[in-house]
Chain A
């Protein structure tokens, strides 16, 4: 039950993009087309889950016993960067179709703060292995949901007559603000 709550809270109530502001760059950058948004969302969810698991293992088995917790920022970033590379190579060999679908987005994920953010939150909250993975998956699903809905909205905005000064970024941010208000409605859920 607790795990379900944790998942829901990461995906909906504390949605990473709209209430925690993690991963705004890809959220605004890769949401012009719906299929691109789906690709990015899936890639982020995948890497997020994987790096949460690996980072938790490294943190508890390497950083804590050897008293190197102060190096956690460097360690986590290297883990994410290495994992992204690994996933990229693995996909290239094993599933070319998935690779061509996600290929472009994978390198971008290295500097996606949602990944490092989730890992850091796991560390600060002291989640155990299962909780870390569930929290990270929830965060990824929340990201996927937000970016797909947002891409749908932006495809509609493209066809509208927007005042000149608001074209592009400002109108997208306004739409994101309205979506964020919607997500505030989930606040009482848990």
Chain B
């Protein structure tokens, strides 16, 4: 179980390692509030679809499984969309069409196809939560960088919002669309760089022994 969790969050992280589901990751991460909201909504959607697909996996014929998955996913996303609209209307307004678009988010379908269809409901639920949290954490990191650099605030819209002093330079570009591409590119390269460093250190250790 812990292995599944760790894989979803770190080694198979949907954004930084698998590089799937980039559309919402780039589009809604101008503030941490939106980033976390999107991450949690997606987590919830993956959780529901994974459990449902896993429960139905013996009833769904192999040949028509993709259309079945899509209907299950669309149903789950409809539920999530309605819940967010009812309980967090501000988030619903900010995320706009990207909330219904979770339905065509590749990670949801990919988890159903590659994990839930082959595993029991409990394991699928854990996998859904792990992948969702991996996605949510990546979005939080990405949006935190963009929000600090772009508007000089952190957690704006949440109760514990922080505003940096006026002397901190604000770069509008990071809030605008290009900033999303550039921030993600640099973060991804940075994480890879750390991965390379760690691997090299391991190699040199082994060489010394």
Contact = CB atoms under 8 A, between A and B. Distances in A.
B176 interface: yes
Nearest to B105: A113
B181 A177 contact: yes
Given A20-B27, A70-B82, A77-B74, A113 B104 contact: yes
A157 interface: no
Interface residues of B, number: 43
Contacts of B23: 21-25, 113
Interface in A57-102: 70-74, 77-78, 81
B100 A116 contact: yes
A25 B97 contact: no
B22 A113 contact: no
Interface stretch (A42-50, A127-135, A164-172): A164-172
Contacts of B182: 173-174, 177
A151 B105 CA distance: 23
Contacts of B184: 173
A188 to B, nearest CB: 14
B193 A165 contact: yes
Contacts, number: 115
B119 interface: no
A180 B78 CA distance: 31
A184 B192 contact: no
A121 interface: yes
Interface string A26-58: 001000000000000000000000000000000
A110 B37 CA distance: 26
Interface of A: 18-25, 28, 70-74, 77-78, 81, 110-113, 116-117, 120-121, 124, 163-166, 169-174, 176-178, 180-181, 184
18 contacts: A23-B23, A24-B22, A71-B78, A73-B77, A73-B103, A74-B75, A81-B67, A111-B104, A112-B104, A113-B101, A116-B104, A164-B192, A166-B185, A169-B185, A170-B189, A173-B184, A174-B181, A181-B173
Interface of B: 19-24, 26-27, 67, 70-71, 74-75, 77-78, 81-82, 96-97, 100-101, 103-106, 109, 173, 176-182, 184-186, 188-190, 192-193, 196
